[in-house]
């Protein structure tokens, strides 16, 4: 296997248009070796030219060990990631990627699964659907897209009949999916897994507020616009790096990550938006003010780690294992 440090070098073995604005890329080991296993909901971190790092969900059946298939939607606001993939990437090109990572794990022991996908958010859901089919587990999917032509996997999902409910804005006078209705009949023991635009996920969070929080699972591709409430007061605090014996001030307009970098302390990071967990750091003392989209409620309550690109302190001082 072509392995670079903790990452992989993969070759693009197929590129095809799956729907309007959506490409599917098939990635394989250049020598044909088996790939590291992945679970439903996993993604790859991919390095693109210009130092860009992007995360793309794996959409294929996790029993396949010879390929990863990722879906890439062309973002109109692309800063180079999806635009490069759509315009420049070709069969035979090689990409540096991480091994599969998963912040959107499917609990295999549930009674049933309700998937809610919007647009390109269908990609991690596809691997979950295939897992449910393979393991004969009860599932259903509500899938919103602008039109059938822009709905990736439309032809693949069609044969699942009543298990899949499509909503196309263009066929409903431009109206978005009625999330209240979609969640109206959540069954006892059923968990909701949602991935899509932040407006859809916010609606699922709001309309699913009657469900215990552990039954709602989200995968964010981009950070939602922060509400004034969610942003909270961004006061100054002190951060102590215990292993280095260093104390630094974090001003209101800088993140911990910014401050560390300004002092020449490199910490692995990628999204800088609280989405990818790359900068997760162990907390030894102090109370964290979490602003990320990846830690579970249990992890937040435990208070033993934080992502330092966005999260801050509720206490005057945080002690980190750095």
**Interface residues with ligand FES (CB under 6 A)?**
269-272, 274-279, 292, 307, 309
CB of residue 263 vs ligand FES: minimum separation in angstroms?
Answer: 18
Q: Distances in Å between the alpha carbon of 79 and those of 42, 54, 84, 100, 127?
A: 23, 11, 9, 24, 27
Residue 55's DSSP bridge partners are 45
Q: Which residue, 130 or 278, has its beta carbon nearer to ligand FES? A: 278
Q: Which residue, 207 or 281, has its beta carbon nearer to ligand FES? A: 281
Q: Which residue, 184 or 230, has its beta carbon nearer to ligand FES? A: 230
CB of residue 152 vs ligand FES: minimum separation in angstroms?
Answer: 25
CB of residue 266 vs ligand FES: minimum separation in angstroms?
Answer: 13
CB of residue 279 vs ligand FES: minimum separation in angstroms?
Answer: 3
Q: Which residue, 199 or 267, has its beta carbon nearer to ligand FES? A: 267
Q: Which residue, 177 or 318, has its beta carbon nearer to ligand FES? A: 318
CB of residue 80 vs ligand FES: minimum separation in angstroms?
Answer: 18
Q: Which residue, 182 or 307, has its beta carbon nearer to ligand FES? A: 307
CB of residue 281 vs ligand FES: minimum separation in angstroms?
Answer: 9
Phi, psi of 93 (to 5 degrees): -65, 150
* E strands, the chain, in order: 3-4, 7-19, 22-28, 43-48, 52-57, 68-73, 94-98, 112-118, 139-145, 164-168, 190-195, 216-219, 237-241, 246-250, 280-285, 288-289, 305-307, 312-313, 317-320
CB of residue 275 vs ligand FES: minimum separation in angstroms?
Answer: 5
Alpha-carbon span 89 to 98, nearest angstrom: 18
Alpha helices, H only, the chain = 81-88, 122-134, 154-157, 179-182, 198-207, 228-231, 256-262, 297-302
As given in the structure block, the two tokens for residue 124 are: 């991690």
Q: What is the 3-state secondary structure (H, E, C) of 186-236?
A: CCCCEEEEEECCHHHHHHHHHHCCCCCHHHEEEECCCCCCCCHHHHCCCCC
Q: Which residue, 18 or 292, has its beta carbon nearer to ligand FES? A: 292
Scan for tokens 């809610």, then name that residue: 116
As given in the structure block, the two tokens for residue 154 are: 């439309």
Neighbours of 145 (CB within 10 A): 27
């Amino acid at each position: 296997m072509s392995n670079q440090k903790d990452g992989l070098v993969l070759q693009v073995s197929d590129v095809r248009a799956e729907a309007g604005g959506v490409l599917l890329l098939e990635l394989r080991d250049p020598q044909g070796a088996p790939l590291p296993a992945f679970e439903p909901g996993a993604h790859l971190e991919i390095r693109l030219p210009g130092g860009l790092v992007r995360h793309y969900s794996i959409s294929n059946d996790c029993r396949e060990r010879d390929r990863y298939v990722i879906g890439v939607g062309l973002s109109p606001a692309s800063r180079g990631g999806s635009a490069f993939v759509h315009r420049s990437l070709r069969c035979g090109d090689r990409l540096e990627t991480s091994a599969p990572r998963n912040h959107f794990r499917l609990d295999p022991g549930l009674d049933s699964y309700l998937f809610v996908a919007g647009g390109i958010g269908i990609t991690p859901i596809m691997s979950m659907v295939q897992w449910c089919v393979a393991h004969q587990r009860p599932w259903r999917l509500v899938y919103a897209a602008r039109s059938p032509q822009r709905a990736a996997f439309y032809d693949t999902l069609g044969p699942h009949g009543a298990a899949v409910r499509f909503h196309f804005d263009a066929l409903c006078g431009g109206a978005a999916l009625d999330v209240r209705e979609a969640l109206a009949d959540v069954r006892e023991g059923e968990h909701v897994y949602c991935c899509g635009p932040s407006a859809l996920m916010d609606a699922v969070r709001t309309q699913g507020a009657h469900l215990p929080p552990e039954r709602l699972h989200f995968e964010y591709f981009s950070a939602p616009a922060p509400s004034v409430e969610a942003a909270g007061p961004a006061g100054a605090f002190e951060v102590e790096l215990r292993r280095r014996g260093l104390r630094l001030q974090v001003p209101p307009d800088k993140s911990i990550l910014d401050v560390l970098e300004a002092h020449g302390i490199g910490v692995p990071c990628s999204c800088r938006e609280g989405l990818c967990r790359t900068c997760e750091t162990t907390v030894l003392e102090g109370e964290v003010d979490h602003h990320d989209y990846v830690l579970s409620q249990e992890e937040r309550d435990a208070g033993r780690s934080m992502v330092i690109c966005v999260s801050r302190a509720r206490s005057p001082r945080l002690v980190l294992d750095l």
